[in-house]
Amino acid sequence: MKQLVVFSICVAAFGADADLILHHGKIVTVDSGFRIVEAISIKGGRITAVGTSANILGAERTSRTRVVDLGGKTVLPGLIDAHVHALEAGLSEFKSTLPALDSIAAIQNYIRTAARSTPKGEWIVVPRTLPPRLKEMRFPTRQDLDVAPDHPVAFDGSYVWGANTLALKISGITRDTRNPPGGEVVKGPDGEPNGILRNASQLLKGVTRSGSFSEDDKVAALREMLQLYAAAGLTAVGDRAVTPAEVAIFEKLKARGELPVRVVLTWRINAARPVEQVVSEIQASSWTTNQGDDWLRFGTFKVTLDGGQSVGTAYQRMPYGPFGRQLYGQTDPDARGTLFIEPEKLYRIMRAARDKGWQLTAHVQGGGAIDTLLDVFERLDREKPIAPSRSHVMHGSFMSEEALNRMQHMGVIVDVQPGWQHFDVPALQKVFGLENMRYFFPLRSYIDRGIIVAGGSDHMIGHNKNTAVNAFNPFFNMWASITRRTREGQVVYPQERITRQEALKMWSIWAAWLQFGEKTRGSLEPGKFADLVVIDRDYLTCAEDDIRRIEPVATMIDGKIVFGRI
């Protein structure tokens, strides 16, 4: 009787008669007390009780209950990646697989292979590759890409593109071509274009980026990608840049009842237009935060405020310096990157979105961009408290003590990509110096200030969870958050390391919080959705380096297995 009294505390008002009971496990609930229990019961897709195996089996089991002995296995809440680009990633390997492009030689091999199956004169586009991750740590030039001279070749480095000699020729790009606004046609020592186009890829004529995909292809590619997320242990993702046409693809998949995981959409508006036009599009749109249901809904309104640290266009507080020339093809050592939206315009856009009820964010990587966004958030905060909207800094790679304090003061939260710490710090530290890496993804500093930190990958290319750009294996990303170990093995600013418990919260309850989903998911508690992942080793006690090697055994959403088996 005494046990029953204890147990009744943990039961929601659903009564007995579970559909499913998992017992004899190590179930990490991630509730407010970070409780670990042995058993969980599920009915109608919801968790009805958690507790000891004896209690749950005793009170919740009937003749129709399916009972699964976990054999001591660890169970975590269904993991959430707050930042992916599912459709783009799904299409990237929908028709053919991509090789790992980790050196200029590998890029040249890719071009030579593509040339064999591509008719002469047609474009070859090297899929998005980030220069800091190349062995040579330099941006490929026209000469590097000239290994298939009968094909125009473009290298997709995100905000900065590379072009070979033929690509420049057919696009009419010469030593006399004027730089587009905010962009640069980079010249070599001889005054000729060296093939690097900084914020100027629009000068390339006739390049098709992703081949041609039918609407059905897109739906199928999205479905495949979301299934791979489920296989990685994810039960919800935030898709961080959708257009109206892309929203329709998600809706189509949902209408068929085929969404493999829950999705929260971020509407990224094109702000490179007159402010009146952007504002009236926001006002005319019927979308806003939390519109939709538990499978598909809108989360955030986003603009892109600066470029990328991987290509030397993030808007920094300090100059890129001499190494920027090698890594990014930067010609001006005093360059600080690009701010795409001037502050007054940003304020007017954000104010219009705020007035429509949106949660706000902006892509900001460089410190200068972070400071600009926080200036605007402060202006809005003075008009009406911003904290309830859960507005956030997206990436925020180059934080500062002052920016951290401003975020804490306003109740602004953050969406981070700690995997970049692992992949990009070796090159970035050569650009900016170790001292300027002090607040690069400062997870400990955020958490100690009570700033909610949502974990994400920024997955955009590739289907393999470990080799994709960016790796979306949540266990790799949690490992990166815990260890701060770079790909060269060093630990930069170990005082920013966090615990396993905190890393797990970043990929569960805190990511759910950013998505306004913490009442229904992100932890294993009675009344919440039965979204969980069973894993092959104990996340909390395995050797630290084994965390990145954890594999899901089964993933469950709404009490139904969506990957694996138990």
Site residues (vs Zn ion, CB under 5 A):
240, 458
Q: How far is CA 221 from CA 94, 261, 285, 474, 555, in A?
A: 6, 14, 27, 21, 20
| Closer residue to Zn ion (CB): 76 or 86 | 86
Bridge partners (DSSP) of residue 200 are none
**Joined tokens for residue 141:** 């030039």
Q: Could you tell me which of 421, 300, 411, 305 has the C-alpha nearest to residue 366?
A: 305
Report, in Å, the least distance between residue 265 CB and Zn ion. 13
Whichever of 203 and 237 has its CB closer to Zn ion, that residue is: 237
Cβ nearer to Zn ion, comparing 141 with 199: 199
Residue nearest to Zn ion (CB): 458
Nearer residue to Zn ion within complex by CB, 25 or 308:
308
Residue 394 CB: number of other CB atoms within 10 A?
29
Give the shortest CB-304-to-Zn ion separation in angstroms. Answer: 9
CB-wise, 14 or 441, nearer to Zn ion?
441
Nearer to Zn ion, 458 or 496 (CB): 458
511 touches 456 (CB < 8 A): yes
State the residue for tokens 């296989």: 231
CA dihedral 538→512→562→12, nearest 10 degrees, is: 80
CB of 83 to Zn ion, least distance (A): 6
Residue with smaller CB distance to Zn ion, 194 or 417:
417
Least distance in angstroms from the C-beta of 458 to Zn ion: 4
Least separation in angstroms between CB 376 and Zn ion:
20
| Residue 240 CB, nearest approach to Zn ion (Å) | 5
Q: Which residue has 């892109």 as its token pair?
A: 304
Residue 38: is it exposed, middle or buried by C-beta count within 10 angstroms (0-12/13-18/19+)?
A: buried
Q: At closest approach, how far in Å is the CB of 305 from Zn ion?
A: 13
- Which H or E run includes 522? none
**For Zn ion, which is the closer residue by CB, 23 or 363?**
363
Cα dihedral 316, 319, 321, 323, rounded to 10, equals 10
Within 8 A by CB and 6+ apart from 417, the residues are 83, 395, 397, 441, 456, 457, 458, 470, 477
CA dihedral for 200, 206, 211, 212, sign (positive or negative): positive
User: Taking the complex as a whole, how short is the minimal distance between the CB of residue 392 and Zn ion, in angstroms?
Assistant: 13
Cβ at position 85, least distance to Zn ion in Å: 6
**Closest distance of CB 463 from Zn ion, Å:** 17
Minimum separation from the CB atom of position 98 to Zn ion (A): 18
Which is nearer to Zn ion, 246 or 458 (by Cβ)?
A: 458
Nearest to 25 by CA among 52, 6, 47, 55: 52
* Best CA proximity match to 349, nearest among 388, 289, 300, 341: 341
Closest to Zn ion by CB, 300 vs 508, is 300
φ, ψ for residue 131, nearest 5 deg: -55, -35
Listed residue (85, 99, 77) closest to 225, CA to CA: 85
Q: How far is the CB of 130 from Zn ion (least distance, A)?
A: 13
Assess contact for 5 and 23: CB atoms under 8 A. no
Please, what is the minimum distance in Å from the beta carbon of residue 518 to Zn ion?
22
Backbone CA torsion sign across 158, 164, 165, 167: negative
CB of 348 vs Zn ion, minimal distance in Å: 24
E strands, 243-395, are: 262-268, 296-304, 359-364, 392-395
Q: CA–CA separation, 437 vs 312, rounded Å? A: 15
When the beta carbons of 465 and 485 are compared against Zn ion, the nearer one is 465
Among residues 491, 499, 417, the alpha carbon closest in space to that of 453 is found at 417
Q: Closer CB to Zn ion, residue 124 or residue 264?
A: 264
Q: Please say whether the beta carbons of 186 and 198 come within 8 A.
A: yes
Q: Closer CB to Zn ion, residue 238 or residue 522?
A: 238
Instruction: Report yes or no: 51 and 479 within 8 Å, Cβ to Cβ.
Output: no
Closest to Zn ion by CB, 268 or 297: 268
Distance CA 37, CA 30 (A): 11
Tokens for 561? 């297995």
